[in-house]
Structure 1
Amino acid sequence: MTQRYDVAIAGGGPAGAAAAWQAVQTGARVVVLDKADFPRDKPCGDGLTPRAVSLVQKMGLADEITKFHRVDGVTIFSPSQWELSFPRRPGMPNHGYCIARRDLDTLLLEHARSAGAEVRQSAEVAGPVVDEDGRVAGLTLKSGERVLADAVIAADGAYSPVKRALKLTSRYNGYSAIAIRAEMQANRPDSDSLAIHLKLAFQKDQLPGYGWVFPMGGGRINVGLGYVNTYKRWQQINATQLLGEFVASLPPEWELPAINELHKAKAVQGWRLPMGFTAWPPWRPGVLFAGDALGAARPASGAGISKALQSGLAAGECAVAALVNGGPDDFTNYQQRITSIWGREYRQGRLFHRLAGIPAVANAGVHLLDGVNQAKSLARLPFREDTRSAS
């Protein structure tokens, strides 16, 4: 039997859960469909910036996230060391957290369920239902079941089945990063800082990317690296080998495992990170895109969780507003919201993305950060987030 909802959401990650939570605040009948059974792991750096924390707080989870490992700043290695505190901003926290995605995503999805959304796990979306006018009118599951809805939110990840089925293109499709990480035990005290290593090289070329060491609490750390695809030889890079070299460069007293041990333990995970809006405009009649399906990660740094939450909240609100005031054929309100909040930031980020792919420019940038008096201010730029709200 075909069911019908006000809003059907493909994907139960941060973007989908945030969209569902936001949409049910108005009394909308909402369903979230995800192929996984939660809790499930997801490759990620596992770091929540102050912006991400503020959005989780907005969703009513301020007390819950305090149970995780707090961080108060960023340590930049360029290779000189710079200690940067998160800035104090009115109405915003001045700290972040490190939370494994298996815990964060489950927390967010269960919160959406508690708010009134129907959550269906082990329900893999195969693609959209498209009506005779070409409007997205629901979702088709791998089982063959159809779920109809007045509005669909595609929060179904970097390889979005909804986006692929609609054969969408965007002038920003080429912007992406490759990331790889492993979680491991370290013989060191838990830090209260996110560590960012800018000196990342491939065959003497300065790579457009960085390595990270994020403290997870309990002596565990998330170690990873990422680089953007504007570097002309990015396809030649063996990401696992590069990660192994990075892990080996960290202090020997940490007693970290070798990359082959991490690989055997299946601790190494890689992923592709679309960024800079790979679905643009961010809607088509009947459907809005959020999170990685939108390509919402920041082009300058690859930060994705805050942008997934922000785009999900905006999509949930704008979908319901459009249904109430005009219908599902026009979600221009969502495009206007995204443009007003992120337009300038992402234009600058895409320029940064292109320039950083040139080894000489990337190398000069690292030398500049390492040597000038304003290094602390400059080092903030790739990690600074817009202070405007998504609502």
Structure 2
Amino acid sequence: MQPSMAAAIFALLVVVLLAPATTAFNITKILKKHPEFSTFNEYLTQTHLANEINHRQTITILALDNSAMSSLLSKGLTLFTLRNVLSLHVLVDYYGAKKLHQITDGTTVTASLFQSSGDADGNSGYVNITDMHGGKVAFAPADTGDLNSFFVKTLVEMPYNLSVIQISAVLDSATAEAPTPEPSKVNLTSLLAAKGCKEFSRLLSSTGADKTFQENIDSGLTVFCAGDAAVKAFMPKFRNLTAGNKTAVLLYHGVPVFNSMAMLKSSNGIMNTLATDGANKYDFTVQNDDETVTLKTKVVTAKITGTLVDKDPVAAYKLDKVLLPRELFKKSAKPDSAPAPAPEAEDAPSPVADGPTSDDDDDDEVADQRARRGSRNDAGKINGGGLLAVGLALCYCALAAL
């Protein structure tokens, strides 16, 4: 074998070994290469749909060119209503050109991001795809049946994660175009009370913490509210807290950033909360196991049991337990259990000081955990480097044998 060819093969094998194992994409950068879709791209960003799309593992974008977007914008829809319309053009399944022309029985119905938002009534959040005569593929909202938008061409395909295809016209949906209230006008406590978090909502109102939550809606907010049973079980302990710490516990259930369920499942790690204040971290760790998402506070582990609302800029999820910050509660013998309720007595001393408590042993534990995590990361890097070295050595031996 010629040395130049051997070198080329060696370089190719190096690239393969260094290639990332996972597929990631940025829809904004992808569409930026296609100026005829610049308006569509701009509004994916303005409505925050781009961020939602980038956190999905499997997605199909029904892209609209500038002419089709001009027709849509002429309707004068608000940005929040426009988000609903555009989310109908984002399918939560993969449909490349080949799959579109090989649909079983010639027609299928698939879900969109509009359907997963919870704002779609009946089957209005689903999209009908039909393979028609003459090689045409038509699209329509499932609740209308008007197949008046057609597949034009493929822009990008990354089987079986991302497909960006152009369709000829906007998918018209009266439900998606219905007026949508601005986020700041949404009454958060009323929404929580109506969705199974009545007791948590009552505490927000009685302490005044609801004002802080409401102020953060426009810029993005995620609420983790404990269900009524969990709050009632926690009330004896809550009553013994000082006014300042009662507010801190409630603010600990809010994150000043919008996190959809897809984001929570793909962006595990530490999250700061509305209670975070300088050295007082008031953070917790998000972890997921398949479809189950848990929040770990070093005192208690709570599980998300339901979605109340998941629509940028507000998301709210129901928990099976009240979140207990380590700044106010010491870790018990059983990590997943809340501190035992104290006897209710008018003259009983409060077990928690007005300011955050500190515990040297607990701080040492956190430091040790971080050190162990750092060691694991370093070990992972070493192991990865070792595997790469072994792979390169094998490549070299194979080429030498040739």
Q: Could you state the TM-score of these two structures normalised by the residue count of structure 2?
A: 0.23
Q: Could you state the TM-score of these two structures normalised by the residue count of structure 1?
A: 0.23
* Relative contact order higher in (CA < 8 Å, ≥ 6 apart): 1
| The structure with more radius of gyration | 2
Higher strand share: 1
Higher helix share: 2
